[in-house]
Structure formats: C-alpha cells, structure tokens
Amino acid sequence: MFNYNSKLNQFYNNKVRLKDTDKTLIREYKNKNEERIIKGITKINQEENKSFPIPSFIEQGSIAMSTTNQSEDRDYDIDVAVIFPKDSIFNNPLDARKLIAKAINKNNANFSKPAEARTNAVTVWYTEGYHVDFAIYRTFEEFYQTKYEHASTEWLDRNPKAITDWFIERVSTLSPKGFFTTVEKAQLRKIVRLLKRFCKSRLNWNLPGGFILSILAIECYSSNSTRDDISFIETLININNRLKYNRYIYNPVNTQIELTSKKSLQHQITRLSEKLDRFVTKSQILFQNNCTEEKAAEFYMWVFNIQENANNFSNIKEQSYIENSSISVSVHRDKSLGAILSNIPKQLRVHKKLWLRFTLKTNILPPFDVKWIVENDGDEARSIPDLGHETWEYNCNNQINIHWERASYKGVHKLKAEIYKNNIKVESQTFEVRILK
C-alpha cells in the first residue's frame, strides 16, 4: 500500500488531535457548570427548605477517553456524571433530571437555550457550539460493593466509570508496543480519532456518535507496528465488512444492552455502511502499483473533506448587503421571545429547534414581492423527506420584510431572498446556515 504515513500523521497532529488549549477551555466549561449545579442546589435548599446533598462528579465520554477531536464548529460534547446517594434523590428518574436542570438554570450564562432535561441527561447548549451533558446517577452499597444506577426512562444499572475504564484498557492492550514498534504509543486511540474525523467531515452527514464508532473501531481494529496509515485503512475496511453481515451493536460492558435498537440509530448505521463502501472503493488507488503521492493526497482529501473545510464554506454575515437592500439575522428560542444571538459572526452556527428571524430592509420603493426560498440538504432532511419550500410575500407596502424559519435538520442549508418588481426579479441573495445537532 502506498506509504502516506508521515503526511497522515502530520494532518492528525495539526487538524485532528485536540489542542491542549482547547482541552483546558472545555474543562473550564465543565467546571463552571459543576459550580452552577452546586450553587443551584444550595439555592433550592434555601428557597424551598430542602436538604439535597451536594453531588459528586465524574468526567465521562470522549474527554475522559482522550478521543475528542478539533472542531471548526466548536461543537464539543462534554459528558459528566452527577452522583447522589440513593436515599437523597427522587425515586422518579425524570424528577432527578429536572432537579439538575432547575439547579443549572438558576445560574445560567450564555446558553443558547435553558438547560433541558432530556431522556438520558440534562443538556446545556452554548451559543459558541459547546454542549455539556450531565447524566444523573444514584449510588448505594450492596453486598459490600458500590452500585450505580443511571436516571434514564427508569433507573438502570450502570457504572459511570465502566466505559472509560474499558476503553483505556483496550487501547493499552491492543495497541502495538515492543522493541520493533516505531509508531507512537496508543495507536488504537489515534485510529478512533481518525474514524471520528471521517464521520464528521461533512456537516450534512448524520452518522453514529463517538461511542458506537469507538466500539466498531476496537472490534475491527487492525494494528500495525510501523505504519498508522495501514492500520487506519485496514480497520475501516474491516468495519465495512463487519456491517455487511451484522449491524447490531451492543454495550461492551453490558452485552444485554443493544445500542442500535432505535430506528434512527439503525438508519445511521446504514448510512455509515454506505459511506464506508465509498471509502473502500476509493481506497483501492492506494494498492495500485501506479499510485503516486498526488493520487494518495487526493484520496485523503476526499476522506477528510479537506478542500471543503478549508475553502468552500459560505458565510452568513450580520449585514449581508445587496445592491439596494440588506438582511440582518437574529436567533431566538421562540418566536415570542427576544433574540439570544443578534450579532451574528461570519459563520452562522445554530442548534436544532431554534428559530431564525430574517429581516429584509430595502430602498426599493413599494409595492414589490418577496420570495423566500429554503433549500434543505443533509441526511436528516432527505430521510423525511423535506428538501425545501418557498414562501411569497405579495404586494409589500413596507420596506421592511420579516421571515421566520426553524432550525430543523442538521446540515448546511440555503436560504434565498429574491425581490420582484413588476414581475421582474431585481435583487437576489443566497445564504448558508450551518445547523448543528
């Protein structure tokens, strides 16, 4: 196979592996929200004459496993376990999650929306793209052992440290080591990061999350003592072959739990298989005798979508001027509420379920017609399907025109504003909105 190891590792170190400065910032977000929970519970106890104890916290997920990648969207996912003694928290797991959401919301900051008690965690969304998931646990002693239960749809037997311990052990055991090993230690962790980078290389893709990808990478891992590029290609080929005959994935620390039982996750696995089919087909160039560095570079640029990420993302600006008109954009939790983001940066990034308010101001004398065109793209929109719609505002007598759209699907979506005078289009502008999960 063509040797692209050195340049792949250069790309990995420069563009994939999370920088220490970002890791520090992420942990600062985590620590601040832990402080909000502590202060919020203290306020609840004082205001409502309650006696909830201050919980303990355990870092989970990709940050704990050191598999978090760099993100242009700063869409960093921070997972934290919030742990209470069993006899000090609600018996209803939903009430336990609502307690933490309530505590956080007593001290909220630049959240894009209030802390939300979801099915498996309480989520805090930041306007910058970060989000923090707090999974609620209760702990107790049973037969001289410490037990944990997770507040999901019911209290489920689950140890908040088990997945992290399993992953670290697998990386240590399976990664090549020894006298003849020339690759950096913990190669398996690097392969997981590269796989995640491939699966998140297009915002329009809706593929499985990091936990499922990590399970597949570990199950199908092909180690190589001298070249990471061989390990990466062979591992993804193995995953592709595995998904052709088996698309069920189970929790590695409790194999009674299937992680792909929901239809939405089954669709994600199907789409992953389709993307890997293309990956395997395109990777054949690396095995040909006439492969050159240029051809190998083209392959890896496709894998990680390097050109698109570097050059082709269009921007929304707070004021996007067309010849006689301007459009401003603001972001709202609800149509009836004020803006949570009005000074839009060069790239408009918003989370799903928020509302976008487009305000068209023009010097064109009324009456005129305004045509708003939405073009949706991405796996989620295509699966509905909802690829777009048009809205007309006829005989506008005001030089200010308002249009609302909801951020419904993950992906890169276009909005066109066209002004018609006497049935002739006199102005037009196209915008791109990047909607995160």
All structural domains of the chain, each given as residue ranges with its CATH number in brackets, are: 20-160 (3.30.460.10), 178-311 (1.10.1410), 313-436 (2.60.40.10)
Tell me the average pLDDT across 41-64. 94
d(CA 77, CA 270): 24
Q: Which amino acid is at 331?
A: V
User: Residue 384: what pLDDT?
Assistant: 82
**CA distances to 9, 69, 164 from 194, in Å:** 10, 9, 19
pLDDT single digits (tens) 320-336: 334 467 777 888 878 88
d(CA 166, CA 158): 13
Band (317; pLDDT cuts 50, 70, 90): very low
Tell me the average pLDDT across 281-288. 96
Sign of CA dihedral 313, 20, 219, 236: positive
Tokens of 380: 């989620």
Segment of 191-200, 308-317, 350-359, 425-434 carrying the highest mean pLDDT: 191-200
Of 433 and 15, more confident: 15
H or E element in which residue 146 lies: strand 145-151
pLDDT single digits (tens) 75-118: 788 899 999 999 999 999 999 999 999 999 987 666 767 888 99
220-229, 278-287, 300-309: segment of lowest average pLDDT? 300-309
Query: Shortest CA distance to 423 belongs to which of 392, 400, 397, 402?
Result: 392
pLDDT single digits (tens) 369-427: 888 888 888 888 888 888 888 888 888 888 888 889 888 888 888 888 888 877 778 88
Q: How far apart are the first and last CA of the chain?
A: 37
Give the rounded distance of the alpha carbon of 146 from its chain centre. Answer: 33
Of 309 and 410, more confident: 410
407, 436 contact by CB (below 8 A) = no
The dihedrals phi and psi of 14, each to the nearest 5 degrees, come to -85, -35
What value, to the nearest 5°, has the Cα angle with vertex 184 and ends 21 and 287? 115
User: Residue 316: what pLDDT?
Assistant: 30
Q: Which amino acid is at 371?
A: K
Name the CA radius of gyration of the chain, rounded: 25
Band (347; pLDDT cuts 50, 70, 90): low
Of 58 and 20, more confident: 58
User: Residue 376: what pLDDT?
Assistant: 86
User: Residue 312: what pLDDT?
Assistant: 35
DSSP single-letter state for residue 12: I
Tokens of 25: 């910032």
User: Residue 270: what pLDDT?
Assistant: 94
29-38, 60-69, 409-418: segment of lowest average pLDDT? 409-418
195, 188 contact by CB (below 8 A) = no
Say yes or no to pLDDT of 354 above 90. Answer: no
pLDDT single digits (tens) 164-199: 999 999 999 999 998 899 999 999 999 999 999 999
User: Residue 1: what pLDDT?
Assistant: 95
User: Residue 308: what pLDDT?
Assistant: 44
pLDDT single digits (tens) 234-259: 999 999 999 999 999 999 999 989 99
Please state whether beta strands 411-421 and 424-436 pair in parallel, antiparallel, or not at all (unpaired): antiparallel
pLDDT single digits (tens) 190-229: 999 999 999 999 888 999 999 999 999 999 999 999 999 9
pTM of the model: 0.78
User: Residue 128: what pLDDT?
Assistant: 66
User: Residue 295: what pLDDT?
Assistant: 95
Which residues have CB under 8 Å from 152's CB, separation 6+? 93, 119, 120
d(CA 48, CA 341): 33
pLDDT single digits (tens) 149-173: 999 999 999 999 999 999 999 999 9
